[in-house]
């Protein structure tokens, strides 16, 4: 056991990439710390000032706008990250990738704005709160301006950390300045959007100054290549939305803003727990992408070490949250949100399932030539989710939505394990069997 631990550590310490990996891990750990601390300051304040109904309305608007975030991101968060990481020593190629991706994203931004406008003014439910949706759309603009995929591919996570913390600090400070009563709810999405846009403009400035990159008109071949590379991941992201943001959206359509408020508060707390290990996933993805091209066996061993570490810590943390869920809700959200306790206790079981599924999906399937399995596992199960979600919501409301998510995540994991074992038994045995 001791020798195995030593050998696993050597995978990282005996590498030229050690310094960069540690720097990236530190940078994203700082960001994750900010993601924990700042919401713990603002979220309890917001839910207490706004109450379940207005907090639910804001959550519903964010869920709706998130569809446009998915459209504009396409699949570039993983596909472009991988492309940049492979070609990062070739400045000309990096410029071509950057230009192609940004042009596509701006075109999708315009398309998103048109679609949103048509929907908002076609249905009374949206039209009566049109200002909320337009204010929230600024988050999409900010995401398009902020090329996270570029910094991840170049493995310069410190920029992501610095700019995201600036955006969150702007949001945090402004919340306490401008949100004093229920009627101030209209300013919440506007403040959030301003933070995203400031971070996005700052990111582009850094790219132009520090990396000396410029937008240039790429060839149609380059644009088609990026669309193709991101296509599999885009389909999977759209499918993922069916069992993530669609839960809030469907709840808003079939119930009311109060129920959405209960579910959203619980979901955000569980997402905070799940996001703890996202740092390692983000840092390791470009590293494994690059390593898989050089040393197949070593890449598999690295992923196995990553999987064991993440899964163990997640199980312990989730067990603790399950036990103290009532105390957490009363402390953070107050008695009006006590309905969120049962939802938390169901959703928390998804955390270890998602970690195992994400490591197999992102680190193995995408990096070892099994993109189709990655996509199909999500598409099929998402269709199933869209069938069971409305039924369970009508039966159990917010609790039903949580149960639907747990069922779907478990099915995706089972599908991926079975598919990996069928297509690459050697990797499956090495990864899961140790």
What whole-number distance in Å separates Cα of residue 156 and Cα of residue 391? 45
Q: What pLDDT sits at residue 276?
A: 66
Centroid of chain to Cα 160 = 14
Average the pLDDT over each of 129-143, 148-162, 395-409 and give the range with the smallest value.
148-162
Q: What pLDDT sits at residue 242?
A: 72
Centroid of chain to Cα 134 = 22
Examine the pLDDT at 100 and tell me if it is beyond 70: yes
Q: What pLDDT sits at residue 2?
A: 41
Q: Which of 16, 8, 3, 7 is nearest to 294 (CA)?
A: 16
Write out pLDDT tens, residues 141-161: 999 998 888 888 887 777 777
Average the pLDDT over each of 143-147, 155-159, 338-342, 400-404 and give the range with the smallest value.
155-159
Q: Which of 232, 276, 228 is nearest to 365 (CA)?
A: 232
Examine the pLDDT at 12 and tell me if it is beyond 50: no
Tell me the percentage of the chain whose pLDDT exceeds 70. 89
The predicted model gives 374-390 an average pLDDT of 88
Q: Which of 339, 107, 372 is nearest to 218 (CA)?
A: 107
Examine the pLDDT at 13 and tell me if it is beyond 60: no
Q: pLDDT band for position 246 (50/70/90)?
A: confident
Q: Which long-range contacts (CB under 8 A, 24 or more apart) does 129-132 make?
A: 129/57, 129/61, 131/186, 132/57, 132/58, 132/61, 132/186, 132/189
Q: Which of 356, 360, 331 is nearest to 344 (CA)?
A: 331
Helical H segments across 74-90, by residue range:
76-87
Locate 195 and state its tokens. Answer: 């933070």
What whole-number distance in Å separates Cα of residue 365 and Cα of residue 316? 27
Q: 393 and 250 in contact (C-beta within 8 Å)?
A: yes
Kindly report the average pLDDT of the chain as a whole number.
84
What whole-number distance in Å separates Cα of residue 301 and Cα of residue 288? 10
What whole-number distance in Å separates Cα of residue 139 and Cα of residue 35? 17
User: What's the farthest any 2 CA atoms get from each other in the chain?
Assistant: 65
Q: What pLDDT sits at residue 105?
A: 95
C-alpha triplet 33, 39, 45: angle, nearest 5°: 150
Write out pLDDT tens, residues 49-76: 998 899 999 989 998 999 999 899 888 8
Q: What pLDDT sits at residue 233?
A: 78
Q: Which long-range contacts (CB under 8 A, 24 or more apart) does 187-190 make?
A: 188/46, 188/50, 188/58, 189/58, 189/61, 189/62, 189/132, 189/135, 189/136, 189/138, 189/139, 190/135, 190/138
Examine the pLDDT at 16 and tell me if it is beyond 60: no
Q: 28 and 279 in contact (C-beta within 8 Å)?
A: yes
Examine the pLDDT at 9 and tell me if it is beyond 50: no
Of residues 60 and 371, which shows the higher confidence score?
Answer: 60
Q: Name the range with the highest mean pLDDT among 1-15, 207-221, 341-355.
A: 341-355
341: exposed, middle or buried (Cβ count in 10 Å: 0-12, 13-18, 19+):
middle
Give the predicted TM-score (pTM) of the model: 0.71
Q: 85 and 153 in contact (C-beta within 8 Å)?
A: yes
Q: 49 and 180 in contact (C-beta within 8 Å)?
A: yes
Average the pLDDT over each of 19-28, 157-166, 317-326 and give the range with the smallest value.
19-28
Q: Name the range with the highest mean pLDDT among 107-121, 198-212, 247-261, 379-393.
A: 107-121
Of residues 131 and 364, which shows the higher confidence score?
Answer: 131
Write out pLDDT tens, residues 32-51: 666 667 776 888 889 889 98
Q: 289 and 86 in contact (C-beta within 8 Å)?
A: yes
DSSP string of 247-293, one letter each residue: HHHHHHHHS-HHHHHHHHHHHHHHHHHHGGGHHHHHHHHHHHHHHHH
Write out pLDDT tens, residues 287-301: 777 777 777 777 777
Q: Which of 271, 309, 312, 311 is nearest to 405 (CA)?
A: 271
Write out pLDDT tens, residues 194-206: 988 998 999 898 8
3-state SS, residue 399: helix
Examine the pLDDT at 313 and tell me if it is beyond 50: yes
The predicted model gives 312-336 an average pLDDT of 90
Q: 75 and 237 in contact (C-beta within 8 Å)?
A: yes
Examine the pLDDT at 428 and tell me if it is beyond 50: yes
Examine the pLDDT at 26 and tell me if it is beyond 90: no
Of residues 131 and 365, which shows the higher confidence score?
Answer: 131
Q: 65 and 73 in contact (C-beta within 8 Å)?
A: no
Locate 252 and state its tokens. Answer: 């808003």
Examine the pLDDT at 411 and tell me if it is beyond 90: yes
What whole-number distance in Å separates Cα of residue 416 and Cα of residue 370? 10
Q: Which of 365, 352, 350 is nearest to 431 (CA)?
A: 365
Cβ partners under 8 Å of residue 415, min gap 6: 376, 377, 380, 381
What whole-number distance in Å separates Cα of residue 355 and Cα of residue 343? 20
């Amino acid at each position: 056991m001791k020798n195995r631990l030593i050998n696993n550590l050597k995978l990282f310490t005996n590498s030229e990439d050690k310094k960069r990996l540690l720097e990236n891990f530190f940078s994203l750990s700082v960001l994750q710390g900010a993601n924990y601390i700042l919401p713990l300051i603002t979220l309890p304040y917001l839910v207490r000032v706004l109450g379940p109904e207005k907090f639910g309305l804001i959550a519903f608007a964010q869920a709706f706008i998130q569809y446009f975030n998915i459209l504009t991101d396409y699949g570039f968060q993983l596909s472009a990250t991988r492309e940049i990481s492979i070609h990062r020593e070739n400045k000309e190629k990096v410029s071509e990738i950057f230009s192609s991706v940004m042009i596509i994203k701006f075109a999708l931004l315009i398309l998103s704005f048109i679609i949103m406008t048509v929907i908002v003014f076609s249905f009374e439910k949206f039209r009566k709160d049109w200002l909320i949706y337009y204010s929230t759309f600024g988050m999409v603009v900010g995401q398009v301006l902020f090329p996270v995929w570029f910094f991840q591919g170049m493995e310069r996570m410190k920029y992501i950390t610095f700019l995201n913390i600036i955006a969150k600090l702007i949001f945090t400070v402004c919340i306490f300045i401008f949100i004093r009563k229920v009627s101030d709810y209209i300013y919440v999405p506007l403040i959030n959007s301003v933070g995203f846009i400031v971070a996005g403009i700052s990111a582009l400035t850094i790219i132009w100054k520090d990396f000396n990159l410029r937008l240039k008109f790429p060839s149609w071949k380059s644009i088609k290549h990026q669309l193709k590379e991101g296509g599999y991941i885009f389909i999977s992201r759209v499918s993922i939305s069916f069992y993530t943001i669609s839960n809030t959206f469907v709840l808003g359509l079939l119930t009311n803003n109060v129920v959405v408020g209960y579910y959203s508060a619980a979901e955000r707390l569980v997402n905070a727990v799940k996001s703890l290990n996202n740092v390692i996933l983000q840092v390791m993805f470009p590293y494994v992408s690059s390593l898989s091209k050089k040393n197949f066996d070593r890449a598999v061993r690295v992923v196995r070490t990553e999987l064991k570490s993440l899964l163990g810590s997640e199980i312990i943390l989730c067990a603790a949250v399950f036990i103290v869920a009532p105390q957490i809700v009363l402390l953070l959200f107050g008695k009006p949100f006590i309905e969120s306790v049962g939802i938390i206790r169901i959703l928390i079981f998804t955390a270890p399932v998602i970690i195992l599924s994400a490591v197999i999906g992102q680190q193995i399937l995408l990096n070892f030539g099994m993109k189709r399995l990655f996509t199909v596992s999500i598409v099929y199960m998402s269709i199933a989710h869209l069938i069971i979600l409305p039924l369970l919501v009508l039966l159990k409301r917010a609790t039903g939505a949580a149960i639907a998510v747990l069922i779907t995540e478990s099915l995706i994991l089972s599908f991926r394990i079975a598919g990996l074992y069928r297509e690459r038994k050697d990797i499956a045995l090495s990864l899961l069997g140790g």
